[in-house]
Structure 1
Amino acid sequence: MKPQSDVFEIVKRTSRLLQTGVVTGEPAWFKAVLAHPPTTADTVQRVDILKLRQKYPGLSVKKMMRPMKIVYPEDRIRRLFYDQHPWELTRPKIVVEQDALDFQRHDWSKLEQEHKSLDGESVVQRTLWLMRNKQLSQDAAYDIARKEFYSLRVKETIERQTAEEEARMFGAVFSKSYNERGIENEAKALDMWKIRAQSVTKRMQSRFDMAGDEEEQEDIMDK
């Protein structure tokens, strides 16, 4: 059943209930629906196409009904940053859907935030803040945010290395990193593959040797 038919059926049933007294008091939507009944989707679509044809005479219907691309100002900044810094995508993150309200939750007059880790989205929001509040172009604002990002990354690296050296000095023992474990597992897999390849090569060589000996014996017997 079409949505329009559903609406009219609901109106009819509500009208009967009101007349029989089963329902007391008209619903808030009752008079509004009676005064402005819904139109069919086909009617709305035909009206939209007629308006588009009047506005764009040479435009085909296929292009008229094509969904419009939704592009946000931060899309270009985000794409530019991760194209230039692809290794930032390898940093571990909490896989939780974001609500895209970082611009409201934090003060982007500075890049470093107390309750948010430094990442590419920080550069995006900082660039937008500079564009809105300092009236800078996108390239100029992005260049400032990018340099601030580099400075904070260097600061984080120095702090992490210093903390690790202090911990080792007091006797702390750190396990191997994920990268180190991955390299070791890869080396083990390559060694196993090398051993198997050598074993297969020896078996094939022995078969070739046996086949060669049989051919020599057949030649001798023929002579």
Structure 2
Amino acid sequence: MKPQSDVFEIIKRTSRLLQTGVVKGEPAWFKAVLAHPPSTSDTVQRVDIAQLRQKHPHLSVKKLMKPMEIVYPEDRIRRLFYRQHPWELTRPRILVEQDALDFQRCDWSKLEQDYKALDGESVVQRALWLMRNKELSQEEAYDIARKEFYSLRVKETIERQTAEEEARMFGTVFSKSYNQRGLENEAEALEEWKTRAQTVTKRMQSRFGMAGDEEGESKLESSRAGEREQ
């Protein structure tokens, strides 16, 4: 059976299952496939490499057959923002898949949104809105969105610090952060290693007397080698 026939058979079966109520709700691909069914033509368009080489003699066959790179305006803005603000990539993000309908709930005539946390993508979408609705260039739109982003980040920082100070004033005790715990554990491990190293050194010095003779030094080196093997 041809691939096209397989696709149409799947559409027919899905339609029957939807009509009988066996499947609840249309699959995400159903309307898209109905609107744009696969081609049933058996002919395959062949590329005339000789003709392409005549038009582009300076390009190799590999470059002629290479697919065209697709670049969207938001890609350039996104790349510019994260190159200038790399630390924004370290902020925690929610990776749970949503319904992908943020564009219906967000109004990018302003940067601050009720349904979306402030991040680099907010700057990208705000700049695109300015470019489309205010007829600004990419540089002008990005500059406006970037400055609005800075203002909101400062506002968030002040609100967070104020809330923390108020909580401490009423007796709230915050636990240590992961960075603080990691630094303390590292300091404890280094201190333990330092204590063990001093103990081993003192024991070796008392054992051999550290007379400075070659025999004592050779015994000390052999003892250290034995301790490392253990």
* TM-score after normalising by structure 1: 0.67
Unaligned runs of 5+ in 2: 6-39, 218-230
Please state which structure has a larger fraction of its residues in helix: 1
Q: How far has the Cα of 1:104 moved from its partner?
A: 4.3
- Counterpart secondary structure, 2:70: coil
Residue in 2 aligned with 1:149? 149
Residue in 1 aligned with 2:213? 212
For 1:212, give the aligned amino acid.
D
- Verify the 8 A CA contact 2:208 2:216 in the aligned structure 1: no
CA distance, structure 1, for counterparts of residue 150 and residue 133 of structure 2: 22
Equivalent in 32, 38, 41 of residue 42 of structure 2: 38
% identical equivalent positions: 76
Q: How far has the Cα of 1:167 moved from its partner?
A: 1.4
Unaligned runs of 5+ in 1: 1-5, 11-35, 217-223
- Verify the 8 A CA contact 2:109 2:129 in the aligned structure 1: yes
Residue in 2 aligned with 1:176? 176
Aligned Cα root-mean-square deviation (Å): 3.2
Q: What whole-Å deviation, never above 9, does each CA across 1:170-214 have from its counterpart, x for those lacking one? A: 221111122222222222233234334445655776679478363
Residue in 1 aligned with 2:114? 114
Aligned length in residues: 182
Q: How far has the Cα of 1:51 moved from its partner?
A: 5.1
Bigger Cα displacement from structure 2, 127-136 vs 203-212: 203-212
Q: 1:56 to 1:131 in 2, by over 3 A?
A: same
- Verify the 8 A CA contact 1:78 1:124 in the aligned structure 2: yes
Structure showing greater Rg: 1
Superposition pairs for residues 53-202 of structure 1, below 5 Å? 53-97=53-97, 102-198=102-198
- Verify the 8 A CA contact 1:77 1:142 in the aligned structure 2: yes
Q: 1:82 to 1:104 in 2, by over 3 A?
A: same
Equivalent in 2, 6, 11 of residue 7 of structure 1: 2
Q: 1:98 to 1:204 in 2, by over 3 A?
A: farther
- Verify the 8 A CA contact 2:108 2:129 in the aligned structure 1: yes
CA distance, structure 2, for counterparts of residue 76 and residue 203 of structure 1: 64
Q: What whole-Å deviation, never above 9, does each CA across 1:47-95 have from its counterpart, x for those lacking one? A: 3535533543443211112232222211121111112111111111112
Q: How far has the Cα of 1:98 moved from its partner?
A: 6.7
- Verify the 8 A CA contact 2:131 2:138 in the aligned structure 1: yes
Residue in 2 aligned with 1:220? none
CA distance, structure 2, for counterparts of residue 215 and residue 180 of structure 1: 45
* TM-score after normalising by structure 2: 0.66
CA distance, structure 2, for counterparts of residue 213 and residue 167 of structure 1: 67
- Verify the 8 A CA contact 2:74 2:128 in the aligned structure 1: yes
CA distance, structure 1, for counterparts of residue 167 and residue 215 of structure 2: 70
Residue in 1 aligned with 2:16? none
